[in-house]
Amino acid sequence: MKNQKINPVIQTAHSMNWFQKFLMICSGSNIHILRKTPSEWNKFAGIGGIVLFTAVFATLSAGYAMFTIFDNIWTSGGFAILWGLMIFNLDRYIVSSIKKTGTWWNQILMAIPRLILATFLGIIISKPLELKIFEKEVNKQLNTIIQKNKTQLQAEMNGRILQQSGPFDTEKKQIQNKVVEYQKSYDSASVELEKEILGKQSGLTSGKIGYGTNAKRKAELKEQRRQDLENYQKQIGPRLEYLDKEVSKVYTNIEKERDKTETFEDQFNGFAARLQALDELGKNSAIIGVAAAFIMGLFITLEISPVLVKLISSVGPYDYLLEKTENDFKLYAKEKIEKGNALTDFRIDDFKDKLGK
């Protein structure tokens, strides 16, 4: 029996099914090399599954976030799919770029920036899903924020009303005080006339009953005071009307602005507003804060798990074959460069010989 050369790559009769192949493609591995290493199929299919499900969660997360912004399912769906594909491609690159060759410390240094990037992606993916999970609590907190903003808005509006209408109100008050003074003078004259007619003794009356000379003089004074009051009211009437209109304008303009602003406040339910509500919920409720932290930790773990699996797994046949393939290409490229340089040197020498002759 002839001796046969032993091939380190064990050929098997097994063939990968379409789903295994799809998951291996998701892992970012070289499918042609994996066909020769069936013992590695399960590992890379598992890594690909994590990458795939991370992309699915990223798509759902982006879809919810975009829907809160655009409020349109088709626009949100388009952006969500685009975001999911980007995350999918980025995760594939992160996993495939980790090589198992070299020392352990070199692998660690290679993995650190990828772990940081994966952690950042995990936080981004988790936030919209946290908003969806705590949607009822977030909506309630949003309503609280809106009412608080409206109260603050009302206080600001009241301050502006006082500031803008203050000069008009001050002048109106001065006019009203002047009218009160004229009214008091008229009332005082009326009282003195009545006392004079009734014969009530005082420092300003004669004490004689009836409509005498003093009573007539007091009646004239009363009439004069009445005319003074009416004349002043007629004189100041247009000014009061003007002041009332100006104050009314101030109230009308600010009320319109407040209605417009309140309408805007009622629509305070966008993505940033929901993040604010979720942050306040986490600060006000320890349970929600812990739950949100666990959800974020779950997605960070999910995002970095392919990198960790690749990092902690032992060197397998796939890694050896991948290193051999890359090394072969390096040697081939180096050989072609050396041959090219040698041919160039030969041509230069030949050209020099021809010139010498």
- What CA–CA distance (Å, rounded) separates 20 from 182? 101
Q: For residue range 93-121, what is the model confidence (pLDDT) as tens digits?
A: 888 887 776 677 777 887 888 888 888 88
- Can you give the pLDDT at residue 1? 40
Q: What is the CB-side half-sphere exposure of residue 32 using CA atoms within 13 A?
A: 2
- What CA–CA distance (Å, rounded) separates 13 from 269? 59
Tell me the three state secondary structure of residue 313. coil
- What CA–CA distance (Å, rounded) separates 115 from 294? 18
- Can you give the pLDDT at residue 5? 45
H/E stretch holding 243: helix 213-266
- Can you give the pLDDT at residue 50? 87
- What CA–CA distance (Å, rounded) separates 322 from 29? 9
- Can you give the pLDDT at residue 8? 45
Other Cβ atoms closer than 10 A to 25: 17
- What CA–CA distance (Å, rounded) separates 170 from 178? 13
DSSP class of 212: -
Which residue positions in the chain have pLDDT lower than 50? Answer: 1-13
> What pTM was computed for the model?
0.56
Contact 77, 91 (CB under 8 A): no
- Can you give the pLDDT at residue 220? 81
Tell me the three state secondary structure of residue 350. helix
- What CA–CA distance (Å, rounded) separates 248 from 252? 6
- Can you give the pLDDT at residue 353? 66
- Can you give the pLDDT at residue 276? 85
Residue with tokens 């491609």: 89
Q: For residue range 229-242, what is the model confidence (pLDDT) as tens digits?
A: 888 888 888 888 88
Contact 214, 206 (CB under 8 A): yes
Other Cβ atoms closer than 10 A to 101: 13
69, two tokens: 């912004």
- What CA–CA distance (Å, rounded) separates 164 from 157? 10
| Cβ partners under 8 Å of residue 134, min gap 6 | 278, 281, 288, 291, 292
- Can you give the pLDDT at residue 22? 92
- Can you give the pLDDT at residue 93? 86
- Can you give the pLDDT at residue 125? 83
317, two tokens: 């046949």
- Can you give the pLDDT at residue 3? 45
